[in-house]
Amino acid sequence: MSSNKMQQLRLTQQNLQNVLGQKQQLESQLLELDSALTELKTAEKAYRIIGKIMVASPTEKLSKELQEKREVIEIRFKNFSKQEERLKAGLEEAQQEVLQELKQKKK
């Protein structure tokens, strides 16, 4: 069996694991932002942390900034989802090639 194909298979698996990890982090950030946006809707006062201090900030402004940040993360999340699909397809193809080679060697 070609060691090149095995290396390619391992590399694709590692890439897929990395993408899944990053996608999970983004999903966590989205949940955090959703929670913060929900809280801001009912909050009378809002604060932002700058360095080591908390500073009062208008809720509308903070809400708008969080919404923009959420949109950016959503785009990144969608990109990682597309990349995940491509990697899964490549992984499946590489696995099939390796299996075919193994079957031919047994004959």
Residue 12's CB is within 10 A of a number of other CB atoms, namely 20
State the pLDDT at residue 94: 86
- Please enumerate in sequence order all residues whose Cβ is within 8 A of that of 81, keeping only pairs 6 or more positions apart, or say none: 23
Length of the chain in residues, anyone? 107
Whether residue 40 contacts residue 62, with contact meaning beta carbons closer than 8 Å, is answered with: yes
State the pLDDT at residue 107: 67
Between CA 49 and CA 70 the distance in angstroms is: 18
Extract the runs of DSSP E, i.e. beta strands, from 1-107: 46-50, 53-57
Between CA 33 and CA 47 the distance in angstroms is: 15
How far, in Å, are 15, 33, 34, 54, 95 from residue 71 at the CA level? 25, 10, 11, 25, 36
What stretches in the chain show pLDDT beneath 50? Answer: none
State the pLDDT at residue 79: 97
State the pLDDT at residue 106: 77
Whether residue 24 contacts residue 16, with contact meaning beta carbons closer than 8 Å, is answered with: no
